[in-house]
Structure 1
Amino acid sequence: MSTDLDSPSSQNHFSLTENGRENSNNKVHLKKELNLIDAIGIIIGIIIGSGIFISPKGVLKYAGSTGFGIIVWILSGILSTIGALCYAELGTMIPKSGGDYAYLNEAFGPNLSFLYMWSAFIVIMPTGNTVTAITFAQYTLQPLWESCNPPFEAVRLLAAAVISFLTILNCYNVKWVTKVTDVFSLGKVLALVVIIIFGMVSLIQGNFSNLEKPLEGTNYNPGYIALSFYSGIFSFAGWNYLNFVTEEIKNPYKNLPRAICISLPFVTIIYVLVNCAYFIVLSKHEMLTSDAVAVTFGKKTLGNLKWIIPVFVACTTFGSLNGNIFASSRLFFVGAQNGHLPQAISLINVHKFTPVPSLISLCLLSLALVVIEDVYALINYTTFVESLFTLFSVAGLVWLRYKQPEAKRPIKVNIFLPVLFFIVCLLLVVLPFYEEPVSVGFGFLIILSGIPIYLIFVKSEDKFPYLRQMSNSFNTFCAKLFLCVPEEGKYDS
């Protein structure tokens, strides 16, 4: 997937310093604009999104009881925190944008890193964005159909519209993106605090009936336990996304681990309290039959103010989707720079200094998934694929301890943590095969489909001149269409 951008790369290069001004090198590159507050806002903004409003039903469905459901939420938070600590070591040892992609490439080489890039491009990132957008649409439209669920077509059209709008915003200005994320991060925390407060008020008023037998109906089948963790872990998805934009963080050696260590415990506490509030107010039957759990919660607790919940949820998922689009587009940008995606995706707009082709590609893939009806199937096979590559990344951490013992590690976690995380991820990958073979099997096929793509378009591209010619034509077309050029120091030979 090479490039032939002689015209745009050799002429009229605009350039930026970190302050956005031109310099004598006549090059373009991404700017370091993210401080610690921005980084914390991005993590909270990405994590607290659709998951906390969709996954409670999925966790309860597979866990079988409210008590075990709470245990799953607590353990999901702990597991995510352990993973984040491991990634803090990886992110400060390998301070490159791309997250898992960069770590897998460093530890195991380009073959496995390509399969991750392919899977992220086809399923992980677009699916996460699609589920978040669908949740936004579901909660936004729910007040208009109080007695039933909104029409499928209306939900999907609104989901497609918000994906498109936020893609345009990300193409236009990075500062606007971070400001939107910061503002909506505050709004979404307030939304969850409202749910927690009214849940506690209900408990104080003596509503204990839903908590009398917390472990009744618990499903101890290992496969279903793993699937309950899939829904829980999906709600924490995003704890590693800041690693995708390491090169845009000011002082990443300090701010990356600080942002992780502040945001993850905070989100875990909020999630557990929100689910306690759900279980206090709603019966098991009410949660399992509701497609909008927070709306059902609001109807039972807020009376005439029940409209507040859909508004808050819409704000929450809007901010989360904005952060998802920002972070995941940078992953594809880095992959294209390394030749694992068409080089057009690594181009930067000469006026806005944003990776417009990467953002547009992500938008189109997300829109293609909007039509899928079963959201929980999307969650299952996405979490399976992501868990598998997270397992490989943490295995890479252990391997690099052996392979590069003298490498600079600003953060070095106890070896027990990556080993424990590896074992848990291995169980989460293997056990669901027995209960949901179709969902996880489909995810596995997506990964395997990357092998022929790699062999033909990456390893053997020079053997097929017409493929190179087509790639060059496509890259040049995108450069002209989106007014883009390569980043500083790329493809100038």
Structure 2
Amino acid sequence: MVNVLNLRRTLHSPAPPERPVSAGFSRRIGLFQATAINMSQMCGIGPFVTIPLMVAAFGGPQAVIGWIAGALLALVDGLVWAELGASLPGAGGTYVYLREAFQYRTGRLMPFLFVWTAMLFIPLIMSTGVQGLVQYLTYLWPSMTTMQGDVVGVAVLALVVLLLWRKVENIGRLTVALWGVMIVSVGAVILASFTDFHPSMAFEWPAHAVELTHGQFWIGFAAGLTIGVYDYLGYNTASYLGAEIKNPGRTMPRAIILSILAIMTIYLLMQIGVLGVVHWQDMLDPDNVASKSVAAAVLEHTWGKAAADTVTGLILITAFASVYAGLLGGSRVPYDAARDGMFFRAFGRLHPRHGFPVLGLLTMGAVTAAGFLIARHLGNSAAHPPLTVLITLLTTVMVIVQALAQIAAVTVLRRRQPTLARPYRMWLYPVPSVVAAIGWLVIYGWADRANPGIHPIEWSIAWVALGGAAYLVWAKLERAWPFGEKEIREEFLTAQQPPAAEPPA
């Protein structure tokens, strides 16, 4: 999955700095549209490039465990998003939730850190799209060298930034087109795989495939869970559009659950279908086309080279469009925060003619390029392919300031704002929160052991620590906490209060 628009939609005309949470938005997105929005962001190029990684993590066709485990983590974490999104239905998602929950003790620190980490994990998500594009291009260009792949990737990013260096409209049409191309590609792979399906290849697991008492199994499980949850990311997209969701208390949780179940079905069909056509050992061989372009391998085996070339072309289009849309949305994140007085003011300036955030676009583009190049040269072995490096780094960065912080935010808000309207309350609270926290901690705690030599935990801690230092510099300039008073706004509590009665004449 490349989560192309897992961000607040910010293509409306700029609003004044001190705007109400829902100003400028109307609630017109229903359940069907919200579910489609989530699904379109969950299933991009991801499954085309991560199936071999999942097989490598588990060491065989038991890789289906990873897709199921990823879906379960997405479901329990989705209930966290559902309660927060239903009770705080504004535009901004995590940014809003952390601002409301943690303003009492740490002022603007948590929303600032979220934006800071988003400026790393959003480009890393886009880097996976660029790497996926280069990977599938090798099927059409088998002689491509590592240096040529680097040049192609950077050139693609330069083209994306150039195309975004103008006023961008009709993003909805691009999203629909991306969704359509992705559906055709996924449908073709699933259909082709089941026209020449061999159950013995898909369902005969190696001896000792699941040994719960063996440490190596849990290392593989943690790696597979990381890949799985990466592919499900996007189940929260509608939460970022909370100000535009009809009846968010009912729509938000239903859209999250329905989209996860639907995408899980697609992923399982695709994984099982591929395993029934391509020998799983071929996916572990770096010199075999199945390890880099598994969809092309399936199509070539079943329908011939022409079909494989065609679907590969569609996958390349999907990858390019996902990077384009992702950088479009990502560049707006620091702009919105700066406009709200929660981030460096330089990010709040727009291009004088075309009205796009210049510094946000350039920064996101540069970090995406750096992530792509660093991962290709750090992950230059069969044990650590570039995509695995990127996915591990972006998920470990997300765990601290987004996943675990939001889980804590549910409990903090229940205590700090007990009278806040909660049209949806988490089922079996706090069990889903606890299970989600355990899942994210498994991903985080095993990250170094699953990726020796990459040090994702250390990198994530260093980035958050650097963000804390940057916050202190910013807070000193803005005279915000701890160098000034904390501003307690409680906007959603205030909004639900009835207007005061006018005194009699």
Same fold (TM over 0.5): yes
Q: Which residue does the alignment assign to 2:461? A: 444
Q: Unpaired segments of 5 or more residues in structure 1?
A: 1-17, 464-493
How far has the Cα of 1:115 moved from its partner? 2.4
Map of 1:412-451 to 2, 5 A cutoff?
A: 412-414=425-427, 415=429, 416-436=431-451, 438-451=455-468
Query: What is the distance in 2 between the residues matched to 1:246 and 1:348?
Result: 24
Q: Equivalent of 1:283, from 264, 279, 294?
A: 279
Q: Which residue does the alignment assign to 1:212? A: 204
Residues 1:229 and 2:235 are matched in the alignment: no
Map of 1:326-475 to 2, 5 A cutoff?
A: 326-348=328-350, 354-372=356-374, 373=376, 374=379, 375=386, 376-388=388-400, 389-414=402-427, 415=429, 416-436=431-451, 438-456=455-473, 458-461=474-477
Query: Alignment partner of 1:306: what SS?
Result: helix
Distance 1:210 1:412, change over 3 A: closer
CA contact (8 A) 2:392 2:447 kept: no
Q: Which residue does the alignment assign to 2:132? A: 135
How far has the Cα of 1:352 moved from its partner? 5.3
Map of 1:154-303 to 2, 5 A cutoff?
A: 154-170=148-164, 172=166, 175-203=169-197, 206=198, 208-213=200-205, 216-218=208-210, 220-221=214-215, 222-247=218-243, 249=244, 251=246, 253=248, 256-257=252-253, 259-289=255-285, 290-303=291-304
Of 322-331 and 439-448, the range deviating more from structure 2: 322-331
Distance 1:246 1:329, change over 3 A: farther
Of 376-385 and 346-355, the range deviating more from structure 2: 346-355
How far has the Cα of 1:382 moved from its partner? 1.3
CA deviation map 1:197-245 (0-9, x unaligned)? 1222222xx4624532356544653333212211111112222244334
Q: Identity percentage over the alignment?
A: 21
CA deviation map 1:55-103 (0-9, x unaligned)? 2222222222312x10110121222133223212212322333322322
How far has the Cα of 1:250 moved from its partner? 5.4
How far has the Cα of 1:132 moved from its partner? 0.7
Distance 1:369 1:112, change over 3 A: same
Structure number having the greater helix percentage = 1
CA contact (8 A) 1:46 1:321 kept: no
Task: Give the letter for the 1:239 counterpart.
Answer: Y
Task: Give the letter for the 1:405 counterpart.
Answer: P
Map of 1:36-185 to 2, 5 A cutoff?
A: 36=30, 39-67=34-62, 69-109=63-103, 110-121=108-119, 123-145=120-142, 150-170=144-164, 172=166, 175-185=169-179
Q: How many residues align?
A: 433
Task: Give the letter for the 2:110 counterpart.
Answer: L
Distance 1:371 1:21, change over 3 A: closer
CA contact (8 A) 2:61 2:204 kept: no
Task: Give the letter for the 1:336 counterpart.
Answer: A
Distance 1:435 1:258, change over 3 A: closer
CA contact (8 A) 2:192 2:299 kept: no
Task: Give the letter for the 1:63 counterpart.
Answer: F
Query: Alignment partner of 1:281: what SS?
Result: coil
Query: What is the distance in 1 between the residues matched to 2:247 and 2:327?
Result: 21
How far has the Cα of 1:126 moved from its partner? 0.7
CA contact (8 A) 2:396 2:457 kept: yes
Query: Alignment partner of 1:460: what SS?
Result: helix
Task: Give the letter for the 1:296 counterpart.
Answer: A
CA contact (8 A) 2:130 2:153 kept: yes
Q: Which residue does the alignment assign to 1:468? A: none
Task: Give the letter for the 1:113 counterpart.
Answer: P
CA contact (8 A) 2:129 2:322 kept: yes
Q: Which residue does the alignment assign to 1:312? A: 314
Query: What is the distance in 2 between the residues matched to 1:65 and 1:79?
Result: 22
How far has the Cα of 1:31 moved from its partner? 6.2
